[in-house]
Copies of this chain bind each other. A is one copy, B any other.
Amino acid sequence: MPLIVQKYGGTSVGNPERIKNVAARVARYRAQGDQIVVVVSAMSGVTDNLIKLAKEIMPLPSEREMDVLLATGEQTTIALTAMALHALGVDAISLTGAQAGIVTDGVHTKAKIQNITPKQVHALLTAGIVVIVAGFQGQTPEGQITTLGRGGSDLTAVALAAALKADLCQIYTDVDGVYTADPRIVPDARKLNEIAYDEMLELASLGAKVMQSRSVEFAKKFGVVFEVRSSLNDNPGTIVKEETQSMEDVVIRGVSLDKNQAKVTLVGVPDRPGVAARIFKALADAAMNVDMIVQNVSHGSGTPATDISFTVDKPDLLKATKVIEALKPEMGFREALSDEKIGKLSIVGVGMRSHSGVAAKMFETLAHEGINIDMISTSEIKISVVIDLAKGEKAMKAVHAAFVGT
């Protein structure tokens, strides 16, 4: 009898009618004889309302108390979902994160799962009962309520699937799966039947935010195969799993465009050891998330100097330039330039490893469209370029056509 873990996000359980739809789907699987664990998020809007309430009390509430507060969101959904299954005559029971045996560390609002004791869940499943688990939450060994932070419900589902040795883990969302590109920009984008963990990770970190990286990393670490699919229809979704031989036949799995980056360039940085370290240490100390970093070789006459460019999240740009300006006297660079009007275009695919000329083909495609490349950065399975934001979507379409086809 297959054991399935299904996760439904806030939109899928956004009101009583939608909760009934979720219950109907679960009931269909149950009727096939599957053992089912359902992980649910808070109803959409509920978490925001709780945060608003807290802010009315105090601008910066204690993280421990935020966890106590926010955990009520998922607790509400599990009870309602269990009721909806009862209404269909399906035996079901709700469990909070703590009751489901999800033990975390004590880092409130972004706790890490330490271990899962699935004894209780197993016993209920064996008794033929559908188990509804509150996503996003757990408890410390001392019994403190914790939450897992962004993407926490996906993580609960993947971790439970690992602990229960589930046969299938389904992440239900409002899209049909993972696409070769954002279909709103590239109408020819195709839904992928499968994708490797590493490709999914690169796409997640590149702004194709179907899922947060941490859940994919967790799934990779514990070998949890999962399917991203829609709660609005019965179409098969995208299977995310370990890379297979056949995956390498496809050079590029997907194309993504991140419009949320900004670029900072330090011009005329004296070329001596420790310079880069000093800059990026200062940015890290300011909790700035730096993405691409490009440094060219020294050039010019006189004292050797270089240009260093990097990208940060757009909302962090002002903070980043302040950090950089403060370093100017000490570092002695000529000037700092910043540019918000950039887009980061990336192609991702494990097939890159065994295919040559991928970068060249990407650059040629862009050149053919008359698009200038600002920065380049590559990993084993990814090539990213920074280009003019205004030409981002045009570039994305061209690169998608070149690699994925129309």
On whether the beta carbons of A68 and B86 are closer than 8 Å, the reply is no
Interface size class of A (residues with CB under 8 A): 20 to 34
A80: interface (CB < 8 Å): yes
> Which of B58, B72, B75, B93 has a CB less than 8 Å from the CB of A83?
B58
Question: What is the minimal beta-carbon distance from A58 to any residue of chain B, in angstroms?
Answer: 4
A99: interface (CB < 8 Å): yes
Assembly CA distance A76 to B99 (angstroms): 19
A183: interface (CB < 8 Å): no
On whether the beta carbons of B83 and A65 are closer than 8 Å, the reply is yes
Quick one: closest B residue to A76, CB to CB? B72
On whether the beta carbons of A86 and B58 are closer than 8 Å, the reply is yes
On whether the beta carbons of A68 and B62 are closer than 8 Å, the reply is no
Contact of A57 with B83 at beta-carbon distance under 8 Å, contacts A64-B93, A99-B143 already known: yes
Quick one: closest B residue to A62, CB to CB? B86
Assembly CA distance A82 to B65 (angstroms): 7
> Which of B57, B58, B86, B143 has a CB less than 8 Å from the CB of A65?
B86
Contact of A68 with B58 at beta-carbon distance under 8 Å, contacts A53-B16, A53-B80 already known: no
A19: interface (CB < 8 Å): yes
> Which of B61, B69, B80, B84 has a CB less than 8 Å from the CB of A76?
B69
On whether the beta carbons of A79 and B69 are closer than 8 Å, the reply is yes
A308: interface (CB < 8 Å): no
Assembly CA distance A16 to B281 (angstroms): 41
A20: interface (CB < 8 Å): yes
> Which of B57, B64, B94 has a CB less than 8 Å from the CB of A68?
B94
Residues A46-63 near B (CB distance < 8 A) = 50, 53-54, 56-58, 61-62
What residues on B are CB-neighbors of A87 within 8 Å?
57-58
The A contact surface, by secondary structure, is helix
A27: interface (CB < 8 Å): no
Quick one: closest B residue to A143, CB to CB? B99
A66: interface (CB < 8 Å): yes
What residues on B are CB-neighbors of A71 within 8 Å?
75
On whether the beta carbons of A80 and B75 are closer than 8 Å, the reply is no
Contact of A50 with B76 at beta-carbon distance under 8 Å, contacts A57-B16, A84-B57, A87-B58 already known: yes
Quick one: closest B residue to A20, CB to CB? B57
Quick one: closest B residue to A73, CB to CB? B72
A399: interface (CB < 8 Å): no
A78: interface (CB < 8 Å): yes
Residues 16-27 of chain A: 1 if any B CB is under 8 Å from the residue's CB, otherwise 0?
Answer: 100110000000
What residues on B are CB-neighbors of A96 within 8 Å?
68, 145
On whether the beta carbons of B16 and A56 are closer than 8 Å, the reply is yes
Give residues in A with beta carbon < 8 Å to B.
16, 19-20, 50, 53-54, 56-58, 61-62, 64-66, 68-69, 71-72, 75-76, 78-80, 82-84, 86-87, 93-94, 96, 99, 143, 145
